[in-house]
Structure 1
């Protein structure tokens, strides 16, 4: 996700996000981590669905 994407999601100007990065590094870090966690959860959910399909496919062949 780009800074522009993040700013749009947060409904703030990109300059605000850049200022936070420079002047409030802890806040910026928390925001970036939040987006990373959200992305990781989405990927984990997709992987779980794929694993379930594989498992069901193996059981169907028995």
Structure 2
């Protein structure tokens, strides 16, 4: 992936993590909260694999 895409995904992940606690407190949003948590975890794994890629230049 290009650096710009990785940076954008990192920013989106940061925002999702920041808003997750307030969303998790909402009543009747358990399914959405669970899905959001899953997506956050998937993005974290994807980004860790991408960042660990030896072909990417060091930031």
TM-score (normalizing by structure 1): 0.47
- TM-score by length of structure 2 reads 0.49
By percentage of residues, which structure has more helix?
1
Please identify the structure whose Cα radius of gyration is greater: 1
Q: Which has the higher contact order (CA 8 A, sep 6+)?
A: 2
